[in-house]
Chain A
């Protein structure tokens, strides 16, 4: 059959989406790059704005708050992601095979995903209340005499934010892992049983390696998401006490919309974008290499 030649129809199909895409994504991205080389702020407008070259990026390297934000963000990423992923691969494996009321439990674990970050932060702030919150009251009953001050403490505020982060993303990770488990052929487990493998060995030598692609996917999307964590920090601690919980997305927001240093905020946002692109490219390369090994 002769291939149908299209004239204008495909462009009409694309147009509504494409126009919005150009106006609200492509233009702002380019615009943002331009702004990052200026000292733009909203009070001066464009007339009072001049190009400052790389000055924003140099300021960034000297800015102690930027480094604090980066450090906190790296800690957040390095702690929450492994914990969440290990926990969720175990939970998914158990839920998949070995429990009653699988659907109910899965739905329960997933609930945080549909709640707004505002609701989550508000409720957890109440639970973390140092003197009257449930968490510390339980800790005191358990014999901890000086429970952490949580959100009010330089040491414990970031861990508190991380606990909420893990709690929030667990359900999503479990669901993705459970769908990955569906694609493992059951013949592999049957063969292992014939060979007399224990459940732990099955998990170690079949489940974990066979879920490699799912793990890759989750790793990359989680890293990207963790570099954008904002709501919990902004609501629960506002970056404090001091700068102990400020993270990249939060500091970019503060710089741009509390200090109105929009040029500076844009350059930090570009730093974030480049970090995200590097992570994605690295993942892509590693995954390609792995695939060629098999």
Chain B
């Protein structure tokens, strides 16, 4: 009888703690919930009090207006963001898995010094790069093109670092077995090593997908033509032009921009969290 009581007391504490944590979690997601609610409401209901989560006047009108009524349409921003993100992600996976493999498993002159240089540059803030890159892109003729977003992001020191950390744990016997079988270095990499690296590749893909999709400062500086804008600068541009009197449309646009991230996050949650933590635990 006594132990039973004790267990239930523990359960009560657990339930109370769960409740407190749930309240905190709801406070954290509340701004997003409110954003979604507002994206369906007409403007005059956005600021009423008490706030209503359901209203009879909710409709898809804001979405229609944002997607089809604006010039340039959000579909254009969507397309630009999508192209940039996909090209960057594929490029990063390609360059960082190859370089990461070389840093981890191949011997060559100056390898460790070079890797140290990579590590140091991971600390360089974008603020240092943006002025020289701006000038560089003007002279290269890629200023105000999507290439200005894509080219500098086709490889990332952090991606290289993550891939190297993974390849360090791959047993060297596999590589030697490949050699015995008569595979060349590239065959070994492509046929034996890369298939093993699926988790690391997934991590690099997902992290880069989110970072590139949400990139704000680079497109703000390197793009001037609104037809080339990505979702982030497209949204701020929209706000600058419309002012906050268009809050209902802004909320619809913001929601649209967020949807792909939520999908990616739900699909790849495991790799996402692994990627974020592997840098801290191993690094």
Contacts and interface: CB of A to CB of B under 8 A. Distances in A.
Given A42-B135, A170-B28, A257 B221 contact: yes
Interface in A214-232: 214, 217-218, 221, 224, 227-228, 230-231
Contact of B132 (A20, A231, A266): A266
A134 interface: yes
A101 B176 CA distance: 46
A186 interface: no
Interface in B27-84: 28-29, 31-32, 34-35, 38, 46-47, 49-51
Contacts, number: 269
B152 A24 contact: yes
A252 interface: yes
B76 to A, nearest CB: 16
B125 A26 contact: no
Most buried by A among B31, B34, B283: B31
Contacts of B232: 116-118
B129 to A, nearest CB: 5
B214 interface: yes
B113 interface: no
B125 A14 contact: no
B184 to A, nearest CB: 8
B254 A231 contact: no
A276 B123 contact: yes
A129 B24 CA distance: 22
Contacts of A125: 244
A124 to B, nearest CB: 6
Interface string A215-258: 00110010010011011001100000000000011001100110
A32 interface: yes
Contact of A13 (B99, B231, B257): B99
B95 A16 contact: yes
Interface residues on B, range: 35 or more
A167 interface: yes
A17 B214 contact: no
B144 interface: no
A269 B131 contact: yes
Interface string B213-238: 11011001100000000011101100
A125 B108 CA distance: 53
Given A13-B99, A109-B25, A116 B213 contact: yes
A42 B84 CA distance: 26
B129 A118 contact: no
A16 B126 contact: no
A142 B57 CA distance: 29
Contact of A273 (B17, B31, B98, B124): B124
B236 A118 contact: yes
Contact of B247 (A16, A107, A126): A126
Interface stretch (A57-65, A172-180, A187-195): A172-180
A122 B21 contact: no
Contact of B160 (A17, A112, A123): A17
A134 B28 contact: no
A235 B136 contact: no
A257 B133 CA distance: 13
B102 A13 contact: yes
Contacts of B196: none
A61 to B, nearest CB: 19
A20 B155 contact: yes
Contact of B131 (A35, A91, A218, A230): A35
A227 B216 contact: no
A27 B176 CA distance: 38
Interface string B100-126: 011100111001001001100101111
The 5 closest A-B pairs by CB, nearest first: A132-B47, A116-B214, A17-B99, A13-B102, A28-B132
